[in-house]
Structure 1
Amino acid sequence: MLKGCSVIALPLLLSACSWSWFGLNSSSSPRAAAAPAGSLSVAPAREFAYMPALDGRVSPNRIENTAMTGVVLKSEVRDAVRESVANHLKVAGFHLDDKRKVLSGRIEKFSVDDVRSPALWTLQMRYVVTDASTHQVVFSTTKTVKRKSPKFTSNTIAIEDTVKLSVDALVQDAGFIKAVN
């Protein structure tokens, strides 16, 4: 019986290993080959308004959570989001030393629903690119992303991964690319 299982299992295992050679591996992405070009600067954290805190629903260092009172961070949510946005833009190939165009944002919603597993993280972010010399808004959009993660994961990792999804959506927006070029 063991021999019969190995006859069936071996070809399946070998074919599964070969899928990554044909680009079917989920970790590879078609846009990884061509990094977008653009330059801008990212505004300080004070320019990333955390609306749930400004509305009085939560404290500035708390992410809304359906299962308990909230996810409490050591720093303010706007600081964590701003740093994560800047880091992911840099990884995506943007130059962050150009003071002519400035990216700021408004965190309209950041929550986690972890009543059940997996937890569902939601980030609704308004991005605004401003021409620094004229103070005119040259681009504005809202990106909403949802991400599932294990219920008992690191909050830092979950926040980073959720912001990364939002930045990925931003850099795929042709209007954003045009605004920063």
Structure 2
Amino acid sequence: MRCGLIALPLMLSACSWSWFGLNSPPRAAAHATGWLRVAPARDFAYMPAQSGRVSPNRIENTAMTGIVLKDNINLAVRESIAEHLKVAGFHLDDGRKVLSGSIEKFSVDDVRSPAIWTLKIRYVVIDAATQKVVFSTTRTVKRKSPKFTSNTVAIEDTVKLSVDALVSDSGFINAVN
């Protein structure tokens, strides 16, 4: 009885569900692996900054003027892409195929809860020897998260969804094998 009295408030609290993993996105299934190198951050153009809409370290936000990071968005996204590819089982020490891209949109709509994070990336795989594009695709992902969450966690989770979409594409797998 006492355990029920203690557990009931935790179970009824919407915030507590995220601690038990019930509010987190589903884990991706194991994917085929491949060999590639992830280009430096300068080769992941952040298009909203290049067009002058935002500074290079700012994510567009509907509720405020923007979310400002210490690092530029292209660096944060590039590092997250590399990390998630490693976790998925890709070998990132081969320079024959190079993954780069352009971040066409990165925004958060947090006027209401939950906040909706949107990331649109155009991924490009280039054969380093010939400099020819061997694969290109654009992936747009949307992720709901609690309104008052860590920006770092929300960015990581959103990029992970994008990488999951990329590595589930058989064309990408064929290009890096």
TM band (smaller chain): 0.7 to 0.9
Whole-angstrom CA distance in 2 between matches of 1:47 and 1:146: 23
Aligned positions of 1:100-111 closer than 5 A? 100-111=96-107
Paired position in structure 1 for 2:89: 93
TM-score when normalising by structure 2: 0.84
- Superposed CA RMSD in Å reads 1.4
Whole-angstrom CA distance in 2 between matches of 1:177 and 1:52: 29
Secondary structure at the counterpart of residue 149 of structure 2: coil
Q: 2:172 aligns with which of 139, 155, 176?
A: 176
User: Identity percentage over the alignment?
Assistant: 77
Change in Cα spacing, 1:28 to 1:43, as seen in structure 2 (3 Å) is closer
Count of aligned residue pairs for this structure pair:
154
Residue identity opposite 2:129 in structure 1: S
* Consecutive unaligned residues in structure 1, runs of 5 or more: 3-25
Paired position in structure 2 for 1:6: none
* Consecutive unaligned residues in structure 2, runs of 5 or more: 2-24
Paired position in structure 2 for 1:122: 118
Q: 1:50 aligns with which of 46, 52, 71?
A: 46
Paired position in structure 1 for 2:160: 164
Paired position in structure 1 for 2:71: 75
C-alpha deviations, 1:124-175, integer Å up to 9, x for none? 0000000001100000000000000000000000000000000000000000
Runs of 4+ with deviation above 6 angstroms:
none
Decide which structure has the larger Cα Rg and report it: 1
Whole-angstrom CA distance in 2 between matches of 1:50 and 1:27: 27
User: Would you say 1:144 and 2:104 are equivalent positions?
Assistant: no
Secondary structure at the counterpart of residue 107 of structure 2: strand
Whole-angstrom CA distance in 2 between matches of 1:28 and 1:170: 15
Residue identity opposite 1:54 in structure 2: Q
TM-score when normalising by structure 1: 0.83
User: Would you say 1:37 and 2:36 are equivalent positions?
Assistant: no
Whole-angstrom CA distance in 2 between matches of 1:157 and 1:28: 15
Whole-angstrom CA distance in 1 between matches of 2:52 and 2:78: 21
Secondary structure at the counterpart of residue 141 of structure 1: strand
